[in-house]
Amino acid sequence: MPTAIIMINVDVGKENELADKILEIPQVKDVYVVYGVHDIIAIVEAASMDELRSTITDRIRRMDGVKSTMTSIVVMHKKK
């Protein structure tokens, strides 16, 4: 199952509102509001790479208030 970690920069003051909206997307598994270079980190899992791409480009990146994103595609997931 393709997975991506999306680092998102948003307009000032929109962090909590956008985190809630992003979490409503079915492919989004976790959302973190963070301090630092980025404002929100989202974990996205999809059934295919096309679905993953569509979720990121058509749903997350086009949200009003999202300034920019940086995506890392997960190659391997290890758990403790």
Write out the residue range of the structural domain in which residue 33 sits: 3-73
- The span from the CA of 26 to the CA of 45, in Å, is 9
CATH of the domain at 11: 3.30.70.920
Total domains, the chain:
1
Quick check: pTM over 0.85?
Answer: yes
User: Which residues sit opposite 41 in a β-bridge?
Assistant: 7, 32
pLDDT (tens digit per residue) in 18-37: 999 999 999 999 999 999 99
Classify residue 42: in a domain, yes or no.
Answer: yes
pLDDT (tens digit per residue) in 41-66: 999 999 999 999 999 999 999 999 99
- The span from the CA of 65 to the CA of 26, in Å, is 20
